[in-house]
Amino acid sequence: MVEIARRGLMLVLSSPSGAGKTTLSRLLLAAEGEQVAMSVSTTTRAPRPGEVEGKDYHFVDEATFARQVREGAFLEHATVFGKFYGTPAAVVEAALNRGQDVLFDIDWQGTQQLAQKMPKDLVRVFVLPPSTAELERRLRARGQDSPEVVTGRMAKAAEEISHWAEYDYVIVNDDLQETLQKIRAILLAERQKRDRQTGLFEFVRGLLG
């Protein structure tokens, strides 16, 4: 198998809460193996039942978060539902340099900041729910939030959805497996972009003898 060196890409998945980002991220990571790494964000919100420190998030207090902002430790950071969220920079840059793709589950505010900072590396995918009723059903079925929190997330959904046109790809997450295949097709195509294939010059030089 010919292997041409390439720079990793940054795959952003955004959606209103409950549309399926977390589920899709898990399936994508399982399907892609070593080729894709998840960006683990830092947050000041409390862990939900079952969430694991360092795997789902780095859970910190507000003072620690503020210090990391001052130190420039984040590629982007934003306030969501009154809590702070940020993307640690160092791990992302290291992964991209060794040709590993990085998956981000971040909101539209973070995506805008990444688009300013690293436009060439970024591939933005927005996930829409099939309907508002289905979004609410999924939030309730997930069973992780109180009815008040579900109401709050539904109220916020319209704001998140209003940013759909800032993304490169938009997918309606109706059938889970179909959505997963669409995301994998996007990845496959984006990996072939000329600019990302840093080893092409050398490879072509070899071809031409």
Interface residues toward ligand 5GP, by CB under 6 A: 17, 41, 45, 76, 78, 80, 85-87, 105-107, 109-110
23 forms part of the interface with ligand ADP (CB under 6 A) = yes
3-state secondary structure the chain: CCCCCCCCCEEEEECCCCCCHHHHHHHHHHHHHHHEEECCCEECCCCCCCCCECCCEEECCHHHHHHHHHCCCEEEEEEECCEEEEEEHHHHHHHHHCCCEEEEECCHHHHHHHHHHCCCCEEEEEEECCCHHHHHHHHHHHCCCCHHHHHHHHHHHHHHHCCHHHCCEEEECCCHHHHHHHHHHHHHHHHCCHHHCCCHHHHHHHHCC
Amino acid at 167: Y
Both tokens of 148, joined, read 């008040």
17 forms part of the interface with ligand ADP (CB under 6 A) = yes
Q: Which does 141 bind (CB under 5 to 8 A by kind): ligand 5GP, ligand ADP, none?
A: ligand ADP
The least distance separating ligand ADP from the CB of residue 180, rounded to whole angstroms, comes to 9
Contacts to ligand ADP from residues 162-181, by CB under 6 A: 173, 175-176
Sign of CA dihedral 193, 197, 198, 201: negative
User: Which of 23/112 has CB closer to ligand ADP?
Assistant: 23
Residue with smallest beta-carbon separation from ligand 5GP: 110
User: Which of 184/191 has CB closer to ligand ADP?
Assistant: 184
Q: Which does 5 bind (CB under 5 to 8 A by kind): ligand 5GP, ligand ADP, none?
A: none
Q: Which does 41 bind (CB under 5 to 8 A by kind): ligand ADP, ligand 5GP, none?
A: ligand 5GP
Amino acid at 203: F
86 forms part of the interface with ligand ADP (CB under 6 A) = no
Give the burial class of 177: count Cβ atoms within 10 A of its Cβ; 0-12 exposed, 13-18 middle, 19 or more buried.
exposed
User: Which of 75/180 has CB closer to ligand 5GP?
Assistant: 75
Residues contacting ligand ADP: total by CB under 6 A = 14
Q: Which of 138, 156, 163, 191 is close enough to bind ligand ADP by CB under 6 A?
A: 138
The least distance separating ligand ADP from the CB of residue 88, rounded to whole angstroms, comes to 20
Q: Residues in the site for ligand ADP, rule: CB under 6 A?
A: 15, 17-23, 138, 141-142, 173, 175-176
